[in-house]
Structure 1
């Protein structure tokens, strides 16, 4: 009788997306990004910090649009006339039943990246919303803490 080897669901590599921001590049799992849409005008929210740019309309929803860089403590660097600006619709991970998506301002179109076990970590300072940094070719990319980002939005009452 031959034995069937145990099935493992650990893939040898995953596909990630590199999201360019004004001052850094983020690496997210491909499945974390629900959709990429062109930047569109936002509905401003009263009494919100600069990093919360307002609410953007997407599929009959109003999602909080944020600047990841400014939410991490960097100065807000957003030119509303920038034609390369896009909005990444991110799947929410925080377990709130009423929050399924967040919107993050990005610069340009995300690039695909193979994430393999031999990806080298980068010893660089991390911001408050960053979990880790890795080297990809000649670039340092940061892995964001999406749950902490969602918590930050909850703290200001927009979700």
Structure 2
């Protein structure tokens, strides 16, 4: 009995100098790049990779520059720039989606084992990168979505200002 090769419906997402591979289910929607709102003032020490907030379907969605998150450079959006709105799977409180700018519309691709191979990179990879791969002759990054979501959650953690104390409720 032979086992059929499993294929995964994926999107090849063109970034500035890289390509990112995501399972199709990770992407909620691809939309035109629009004006971003400012980051809420409650977010202190805003990381460079947090570009702003997107008003999408009645929600405020953080827009992140994946390239900047792992040490690369983010290019200003062009006329073909889109936003890939990604589903958050680890349950970031108050942040059910994140958005990533893409150079153009991502390409849908059915990927099976024969079409992908892992590239061993010298040195230590950034925690936001799961691995580097070659797909159909092109290099790409598979992101560590758990780590990206952890960094977003850490950024949006609403902590009380230092020096304030909660008063204990008195029992009567």
Shared fold by TM > 0.5? yes
Aligned to 1:32: 26
1:52 match:
50
Q: For 1:148-159, what aligned pairs fall within 5 Å after superposition?
A: 148-157=147-156
Number of residue pairs aligned between Structure 1 and Structure 2 = 149
Q: Is the 8 A contact 2:83 2:100 kept in 1?
A: yes
Structure 1 length normalisation: TM-score? 0.84
Moved more, 26-35 or 148-157: 148-157
TM-score (norm 2): 0.78
Higher Cα radius of gyration: 2
Q: Kindly indicate whether the alpha-carbon contact (under 8 Å) linking 1:64 and 1:158 is maintained by their aligned counterparts in 2.
A: no
Structure 2 regions of 5+ residues with no counterpart? 159-172
Matched, 1:63 2:61: yes
Question: Once the two structures are superposed, what CA deviation does each residue of 1:121-150 show, in whole Å capped at 9, x if it has no partner?
Answer: 222353331112221122111110111111
Distance 1:157 1:19, change over 3 A: same
Instruction: After superposition, give the CA deviation of every residue in 1:69-107 in whole Å (9 maximum; x if it has no partner).
Output: 0011223x2324x11111100000113353321111111
- Runs of 4+ in structure 1 over 6 Å off: none
Q: Alpha carbon RMSD of aligned pairs, Å?
A: 2.1
Alignment of 1:69-148 (within 5 A): 69-75=67-73, 77-80=74-77, 82-96=78-92, 98-118=94-114, 119-125=116-122, 126-148=125-147
